[in-house]
């Protein structure tokens, strides 16, 4: 649910049934969007009003607004709240709010028929494929919104209120088309209260991690577990570690499919680190067959000390976490003393992707709604209930956060400019699949780090050579 | 009479044919065409690429894994299912020769056996995912409870066991149906034949081999075709239940899953269609061979 | 119908002759039968029991009974997953598709089995071949076909597509069934001046009833558990069929880690079918017997 659609498309593999659901729908949907076109009449004609300082996007006050929200782990109260703010400003406008789980299934026919809603939260496993929507010119350019004054402070443009990387995450070619509302950070999670009770300190380096794992194991707890059914979860700390060692140059080389990128010393040594973790028996027995919910529940129940996950973990575990558990996220330890990035660097990306369909009846209203949603007031309300960081800078200032969310905010603050994200997973899905398979084998001690690098490099080379695959560079 | 005959035939055939052509044949025909293109799901951008998609199949190691796994399933699932099904069905009859319905309670057994057939494969796969859970699952929990904790395995995550675990679910879900089917077929065998065998002093196994098996052969053949088709599919169970899915590392990959992933995750619809066409010919060949064999034997028996 | 029903009676010898002199050891036979019954029933029973447990119990004690039953799991599954509505949707779609399938399928099977004309074999194989097509090969083009007809997400659209995909098996199954029916009755009816249609509906169809029941059951099970087709063609949550609804429940399970709710949902989906089966199993078995003997 809360995976950023751009940086990490794994929701499609995250839960068993969601996959079955999503996959069946995605492709028909897309193509539908494309062939469904042909009606060039502008449905929004007559639905824009005069622009003013107070109404920078030219909303026609009484035009109804239809908003479709992905109702996942964050619920949809925050979106209703933004709707309330909207109707307060335009009392004549009637808002049709829908909170759904299967965005793609519900909206596909609407896009085909050129009658899409005015705002879409295109998130979740069965979301519409954004690249295809973009190619079909079904999405409105949000430049006007980004350049409009922000809802809270007319002196600041909307684009200057967002966390770093948010606009880039929603930009296709040169055009900003989507705005991601949440900010996700990946790291290693543990129970602060457990660690305090045992006198364990969160490790800054991998050597400290191994030493701590020995202590934890001796205490009768499995040091690590992971969401074995979906090996991409344990890829995250591995790739984070490699990025810290090799720096952003390593990340770019991997994403740009450069020759032997996967044989970089940073990647090999990170793979060796995880092979060692597995080799020393620090992974909880049976983890390799657990779904994300099962592994996370085992961790919440104190059967394992660490689990790798993104910052959605706390809200996902809300119902099964014992009181006083105090989960917190730590950053992936440094592998070497000569790492290019500091130990505080984090893998981070924005998600929960909002867009205004090109064929919306009320696109100005749609953008105005987003302007209100991305206001500090609305983002703050979201942060206090949803348990995740909004993509709006400073939205959590002055809020008392839960232990998990507080640790995520602190990690973002500590990282400063040192955030990074890999793109190959979105760009080259077959490479991600090859990597997941190889990493699953690596942490189950069936291949060595060198073989791991060999395999993944081979898959990357195959993609680089394949002329039928659209290439991207960063 | 002539006139009425043609009018009746038209009335009987045309509606079904229209439905068939519109909703079944035309989509398949389009899919066949797509297998010769590089269609990515974005209409209007399909380029004709000839047999290139088919040529790529041979170099796709995951697809080759899938072919191997499907081949194993194609042999094992029907054999084991039919084996257990025939065993149980004939036990019911041999065990209790007194009554018309076989041994006492055979009706109740058949009711229970049939249960999995009533459930959607999605439900079955979700359920068995829980059964196989290495730490909290029914299977390992049971093994530990009876002191066989040493046999507890990470069923779906070990390459040697994952495919077996998948096949076990397929067998589990279909045995009951074939018990009932075979049992019905055995009911149809004239009693005198069994009694003649008994009088000749034939034991249970000999009776089964000499009487039961030859006379239910046709039913068994039909069962082979259906089970074979099910084994060539296996998509729902693999997709929902296995690690990855299709893992670990391709150990449970099936053609349907490769097709699905290529079409719906990678957007390579042309390539995926080529897989579908290959699967189609495999299925068709299997069915034709099995039915041919059946017809030949029927002729020989006659 | 009478003709078929009488057949076994003719071939069965008097009851006294059927009594065996020798009996096999019944105990090991029962043991084997019981073993498979346990293997079959245990996972289902386990799902039912787990649907009354708390999440913690499910995670820690797979074999334990619930300390105190949790009916809240069922309430959650029922209210949050709308299982009742999905059930009704399934009934409407499957019921409509079943009627249509049986009507069209038996007409085609009969026409092809009992009439000689040019193209007969061709039409037969056109239908039968479709049985062996992997369905997801057709999914995307099918989506467009249904969409262009304006039938996407409607009951009639689903019913038509369901029927279209169930007719081939029905034709295949009933074709051989109609072939084996004796022709004399039909000839007599023709001589009495019955039309072709009347012969089919009044004479042949009743005679084929055991076969119709059998194929009807197969079709019902197949359609009831259909998942791929509604997934793609039925995007409106208000019209979800049961399999989709269950999948939706699993989706929320994925988001909220609600194992007990998922087990309750599984149970709610399983029980009515199992109970209906137990109630009607006599008819079902009779139908299958007819199918196997044919």
Q: Which CATH number does the domain housing residue A236 bear?
A: 3.40.190.10
**Contact status, residue A298 vs residue A155, Cβ threshold 8 Å:** no
pLDDT of residue A435: 95
Range C63-74 average pLDDT: 86
Interface check for B50 against chain C (CB to CB < 8 A): the answer is no
ipTM over 0.90: no
At A88, the pLDDT band (50, 70, 90 cuts) reads very high
pLDDT of residue A317: 84
Tell me how far CA of residue C124 lies from CA of B19, C104, C117, in angstroms: 15, 14, 12
Domain-located, residue B7: no
- Whether A111 and A239 map to the same domain: the answer is no
Domain-located, residue B10: no
- Nearest CA to A377 out of A396, A402, A352 is that of A396
Q: Which residues of C touch A115 (CB under 8 A)?
A: none
Q: Which range (A109-113, A195-199, B195-199, C114-118) has the least confidence?
A: A109-113
Q: pLDDT tens across B118-135, in order?
A: 888 878 888 898 899 888
CA distance A105 to chain C (A): 5
Domain-located, residue B124: yes
Range C154-179 average pLDDT: 91
Residue A83, pLDDT above cutoff 90: yes
Q: How far apart are CA A17 and CA A24, in angstroms?
A: 11
Asked if the Cβ–Cβ distance from B155 to A289 is below 8 Å, we say yes
Residue C142, pLDDT above cutoff 50: yes
Instruction: CATH number of the domain at B100, please.
Output: 1.10.3720.10
pLDDT of residue B99: 39
pLDDT of residue C247: 66
Which range marks the domain in which residue A262 is found?
Answer: 185-347+422-465
At B232, the pLDDT band (50, 70, 90 cuts) reads confident
Q: How far apart are CA C191 and CA B72, in angstroms?
A: 56
pLDDT of residue B234: 84
Which residues lie below 8 Å from residue B69, measured CB to CB, with a gap of 6+?
B163, B251, B252, B253, B254
pLDDT of residue A305: 96
pLDDT of residue B90: 85
At A21, the pLDDT band (50, 70, 90 cuts) reads very low
pLDDT of residue A23: 34
Q: Which residues of B touch C281 (CB under 8 A)?
A: 110-111, 114
pLDDT of residue A2: 34
- Whether A169 and A195 map to the same domain: the answer is no
Residue in the block written with tokens 């990959």: B253
**Torsion angles phi and psi, residue A68, rounded to 5:** -115, 120
pLDDT of residue A265: 94
At B145, the pLDDT band (50, 70, 90 cuts) reads confident
Domain-located, residue B217: yes
CATH class of C77-293: mainly alpha
- Whether A286 and A304 map to the same domain: the answer is yes
Minimal-distance CA residue of chain A relative to C239: A106
- Whether A294 and A321 map to the same domain: the answer is yes
How buried is C144 (Cβ within 10 angstroms: 0-12 exposed, 13-18 middle, 19+ buried)? Answer: buried
- Whether A242 and A300 map to the same domain: the answer is yes
Domain-located, residue A330: yes
- Whether A202 and A278 map to the same domain: the answer is yes
Tell me how far CA of residue A186 lies from CA of A347, A443, C111, in angstroms: 5, 19, 65
- Whether A340 and A361 map to the same domain: the answer is no
Range A390-400 average pLDDT: 86
pLDDT of residue A245: 95
pTM for the full model?
0.81
**Contact status, residue A24 vs residue A372, Cβ threshold 8 Å:** no
Minimal-distance CA residue of chain B relative to A288: B157
- Whether A157 and A189 map to the same domain: the answer is no
Range B179-201 average pLDDT: 82
Domain-located, residue A428: yes
Q: Which of A116-125, B32-41, C183-192 has the highest mean pLDDT?
A: A116-125
pLDDT of residue A384: 80
Radius of gyration of chain C (CA): 24
Range A219-235 average pLDDT: 93
Range A66-71 average pLDDT: 91
pLDDT of residue A416: 83
Domain-located, residue A291: yes
- Top residue of C149, C232, C254 to mutate, by most chain A CBs within 10 Å, is C254
More confident site: C192 or A431: A431
At B296, the pLDDT band (50, 70, 90 cuts) reads low
Q: pLDDT tens across A320-345, in order?
A: 788 999 999 999 999 999 999 999 99
At C290, the pLDDT band (50, 70, 90 cuts) reads low
CA distance A294 to chain B (A): 9
More confident site: A307 or C207: A307
Domain-located, residue A417: no
- Whether A77 and A196 map to the same domain: the answer is no
Which range marks the domain in which residue B243 is found?
Answer: 55-301
At A42, the pLDDT band (50, 70, 90 cuts) reads low
Radius of gyration of chain A (CA): 23
Q: pLDDT tens across B56-103, in order?
A: 898 888 999 999 999 999 999 999 999 999 999 888 876 544 434 467
Which residues lie below 8 Å from residue C5, measured CB to CB, with a gap of 6+?
C210
At A108, the pLDDT band (50, 70, 90 cuts) reads confident
CA distance B136 to chain A (A): 9
Measure CB to CB from residue C136 to each of B127, B192, B260 and give the nearest one. B260
Asked if the Cβ–Cβ distance from C232 to A24 is below 8 Å, we say yes
Q: Which residues pair with A389 in a beta bridge?
A: A183
Domain ranges in chain C are 25-69, 77-293
- Whether A168 and A47 map to the same domain: the answer is yes
Q: Which residues pair with A180 in a beta bridge?
A: A353
Residue A28, pLDDT above cutoff 90: no
Q: pLDDT tens across A126-153, in order?
A: 677 777 788 778 899 999 999 999 998 8
Domain-located, residue B135: yes
More confident site: B195 or A228: A228
**Domain tally, chain A:** 2
DSSP C242: H
More confident site: B39 or A268: A268
Interface check for C151 against chain A (CB to CB < 8 A): the answer is no
Range B37-64 average pLDDT: 80
Domain-located, residue A372: yes
At A44, the pLDDT band (50, 70, 90 cuts) reads low
More confident site: C273 or B68: B68
Range A370-381 average pLDDT: 92
- Whether A291 and A313 map to the same domain: the answer is yes
Domain-located, residue B40: no
pLDDT of residue A426: 76
pLDDT of residue C268: 81
Q: pLDDT tens across A239-250, in order?
A: 999 999 999 999
DSSP assignment of A260-282 equals: TGGGSHHHHHHHHHHHHHHHTT-
More confident site: A162 or B268: A162
Range A347-365 average pLDDT: 92
**Contact status, residue B13 vs residue C111, Cβ threshold 8 Å:** yes
The chain-wide mean pLDDT, for chain C, equals 79
**Contact status, residue B254 vs residue A1, Cβ threshold 8 Å:** no
Asked if the Cβ–Cβ distance from A319 to C255 is below 8 Å, we say no
Q: How far apart are CA A247 and CA A257, in angstroms?
A: 16
Q: Which residues of C touch A309 (CB under 8 A)?
A: none
Range C104-117 average pLDDT: 92
Element (H, E) at A305: strand A304-310
**Contact status, residue A189 vs residue A309, Cβ threshold 8 Å:** yes
Interface check for C154 against chain A (CB to CB < 8 A): the answer is no
- Nearest CA to A5 out of A145, A169, A118, A137 is that of A169
Q: Which residues of C touch B143 (CB under 8 A)?
A: none
Helix axes C155-180, B2-20, angle to 10 degrees: 130
Interface check for B219 against chain C (CB to CB < 8 A): the answer is yes
The chain-wide mean pLDDT, for chain B, equals 84
At C25, the pLDDT band (50, 70, 90 cuts) reads low
Domain-located, residue B292: yes
- Whether A233 and A166 map to the same domain: the answer is no
Check the CA dihedral A356-A359-A365-A368 and report its sign. positive
Residue in the block written with tokens 């380029």: B47
Q: Are strands A389-390 and A179-191 parallel, antiparallel or unpaired?
A: antiparallel
Cα dihedral B102, B108, B110, B114 in deg (nearest 10) = 170
The 3-state secondary structure of chain B reads: CHHHHHHHHHHHHHHHHHHHHHHHHHHHHHHHHHCCECCCCCCCCCCECCCHHHHHHCCCHHHHHHHHHHHHHHHHHHHHHHHHHHHHHHHHHHHCCCCCCCCCCHHHHHHHHHHHHHCCHHHHHHHHHHHCCCCCCHHHHHHHHCCCHHHCCCCCCCHHHHHHHHHHHHHHHHHHHHHHHHHHHHHCCCHHHHHHHHHCCCCHHHHHHHHHHHHCHHHHHHHHHHHHHHHHHCHHHHHHHCCCCCCCCCCCCCHHHHHHHHHHCCCCHHHHHHHHHHHHHHHHHHHHHHHHHHHHHHHHHC
Domain-located, residue B85: yes
At C187, the pLDDT band (50, 70, 90 cuts) reads confident
**Contact status, residue B262 vs residue B271, Cβ threshold 8 Å:** yes
Asked if the Cβ–Cβ distance from B248 to A230 is below 8 Å, we say no
């Amino acid at each position: 649910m809360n995976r950023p659609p751009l940086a990490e498309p794994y929701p499609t593999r995250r839960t068993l049934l969601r996959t079955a659901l999503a996959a069946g729908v995605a492709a028909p949907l897309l193509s539908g969007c494309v062939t469904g076109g042909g009606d060039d009449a502008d449905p929004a004609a007559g639905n824009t009003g005069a622009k003013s300082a107070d109404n920078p996007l030219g909303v026609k006050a009484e035009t109804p607004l239809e908003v479709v929200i992905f109702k996942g782990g964050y619920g949809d109260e925050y979106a209703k709240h933004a709707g309330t703010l909207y109707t307060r400003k335009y009392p004549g406008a009637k808002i049709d709010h829908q909170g759904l789980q299967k965005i793609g299934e519900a909206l596909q026919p609407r896009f085909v028929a050129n009658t899409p809603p005015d705002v879409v939260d295109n998130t979740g496993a069965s979301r519409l494929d954004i690249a295809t929507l973009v190619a079909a010119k079904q999405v409105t350019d949000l430049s006007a919104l980004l350049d409009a004054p922000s809802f809270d402070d007319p002196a600041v443009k909307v684009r200057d209120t967002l966390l770093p990387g948010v606009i880039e995450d929603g930009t296709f070619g040169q055009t900003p088309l989507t705005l991601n509302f949440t900010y996700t950070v990946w790291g290693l999670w543990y129970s602060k209260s457990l660690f305090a009770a045992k006198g364990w300190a969160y490790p800054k380096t991998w050597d400290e991690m191994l030493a701590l794992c020995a202590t934890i194991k001796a205490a009768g707890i499995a040091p690590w577990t992971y969401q074995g059914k979906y090996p991409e979860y344990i890829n995250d700390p591995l790739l984070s570690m490699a990025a810290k060692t090799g720096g952003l140059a390593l990340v770019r080389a991997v994403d740009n499919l450069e020759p032997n990128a996967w044989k970089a010393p940073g990647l090999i040594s990170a793979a060796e680190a995880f092979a060692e973790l597995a080799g020393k028996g620090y992974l909880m027995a049976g983890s390799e067959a657990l779904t994300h919910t099962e592994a996370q529940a085992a961790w919440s129940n104190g059967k394992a000390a660490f689990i790798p996950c993104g910052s959605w973990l706390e809200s996902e575990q809300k119902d099964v976490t014992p009181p006083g558990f105090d989960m917190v996220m730590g950053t992936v330890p440094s592998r070497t003393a000569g790492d290019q990035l500091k130990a505080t660097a984090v893998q981070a990306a924005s998600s929960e992707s909002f867009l205004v369909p090109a064929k919306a009846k009320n696109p100005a209203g749609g953008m105005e709604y987003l302007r209100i949603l991305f206001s500090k007031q609305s983002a703050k309300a979201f942060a206090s209930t949803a348990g995740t960081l909004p993509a709006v800078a400073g939205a959590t200032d002055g809020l008392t956060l839960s232990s998990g969310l507080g640790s995520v905010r602190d990690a973002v603050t500590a990282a400063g400019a040192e955030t990074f994200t890999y793109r190959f997973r979105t760009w080259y899905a077959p490479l991600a699949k090859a990597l997941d398979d190889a990493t699953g084998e690596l942490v189950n001690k069936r291949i060595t780090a060198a073989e791991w690098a060999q395999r993944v490099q081979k898959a990357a080379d195959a993609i680089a050579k394949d002329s039928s695959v659209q290439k991207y560079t960063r | 009479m002539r006139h009425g005959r043609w009018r009746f035939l038209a009335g009987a055939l045309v509606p079904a044919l229209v439905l068939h052509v519109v909703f079944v044949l035309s989509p398949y025909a389009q899919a066949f065409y797509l297998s010769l293109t590089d269609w990515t799901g974005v209409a209007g951008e399909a380029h004709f690429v000839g047999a290139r998609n088919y040529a790529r199949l041979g170099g796709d190691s995951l697809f080759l894994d899938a072919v191997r796994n499907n081949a194993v399933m194609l042999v094992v699932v029907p054999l084991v299912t039919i084996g257990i099904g025939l065993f149980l069905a004939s036990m019911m009859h041999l065990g209790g020769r007194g009554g018309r319905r076989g041994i006492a309670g055979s009706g109740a057994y058949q009711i229970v056996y049939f249960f999995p057939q009533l459930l959607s494969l999605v439900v079955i796969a979700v359920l068995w995912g829980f059964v196989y859970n290495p730490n909290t699952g029914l299977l390992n929990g049971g093994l530990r409870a009876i002191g066989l904790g040493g046999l507890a395995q990470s069923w779906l995550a070990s390459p040697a066991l994952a495919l077996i675990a998948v096949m076990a679910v397929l067998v589990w879900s279909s045995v009951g149906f074939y018990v009932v089917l075979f049992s019905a077929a055995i009911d149809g065998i004239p009693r005198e034949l069994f009694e003649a065998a008994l009088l000749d002093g034939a034991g249970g196994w000999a009776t089964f081999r000499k009487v039961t098996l030859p006379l239910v052969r046709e039913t068994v053949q039909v069962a082979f075709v259906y089970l074979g088709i099910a084994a060539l599919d296996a998509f729902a169970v693999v997709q929902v239940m296995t690690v990855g899915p299709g893992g670990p590392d391709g150990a449970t990959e099936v053609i349907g899953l490769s097709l699905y992933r290529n079409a719906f995750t990678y957007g390579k619809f042309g390539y995926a269609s080529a897989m579908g066409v290959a699967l189609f010919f495999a299925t068709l060949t299997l069915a034709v061979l099995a039915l041919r064999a059946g017809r030949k034997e029927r002729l020989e028996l006659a | 119908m009478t003709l078929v029903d009488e057949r076994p009676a003719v071939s069965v010898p008097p009851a006294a002759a059927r009594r065996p002199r020798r009996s096999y050891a019944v105990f090991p036979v029962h043991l084997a039968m019981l073993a498979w019954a346990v293997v079959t029933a245990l996972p289902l029973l386990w799902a039912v029991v787990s649907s009354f447990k708390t999440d913690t119990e499910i995670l820690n004690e797979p074999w334990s009974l619930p300390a105190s039953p949790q009916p809240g799991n069922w309430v959650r599954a029922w209210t949050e997953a709308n299982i009742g509505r999905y059930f009704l949707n399934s009934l409407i779609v499957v019921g409509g598709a079943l009627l249509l399938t049986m009507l069209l399928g038996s007409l085609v099977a009969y026409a092809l089995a009992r009439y000689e004309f040019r193209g007969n074999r061709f039409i037969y194989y056109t239908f039968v071949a479709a049985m062996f097509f992997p369905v997801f090969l057709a999914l995307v083009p099918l989506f467009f076909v249904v969409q262009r007809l304006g039938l996407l997400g409607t009951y009639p659209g689903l019913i038509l597509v369901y029927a279209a995909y169930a007719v081939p098996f029905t034709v295949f199954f009933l074709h051989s069934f109609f072939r084996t029916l004796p022709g004399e009755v039909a000839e007599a009816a023709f001589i009495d001046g019955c039309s072709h249609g009347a012969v089919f509906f009044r004479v042949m169809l009743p005679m084929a009833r055991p076969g119709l029941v059998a194929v009807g059951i197969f079709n019902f099970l197949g359609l009831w558990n259909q998942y791929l087709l509604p997934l793609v063609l039925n995007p409106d949550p208000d019209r979800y069929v049961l399999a989709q609804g269950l999948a939706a429940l699993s989706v929320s399970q994925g988001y909220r880690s609600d194992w007990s709710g998922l087990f309750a949902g599984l149970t709610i989906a399983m029980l009515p079918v199992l109970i209906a089966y137990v109630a009607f199993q006599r008819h079902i078995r009779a139908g299958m017997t007819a199918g196997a003997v044919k």
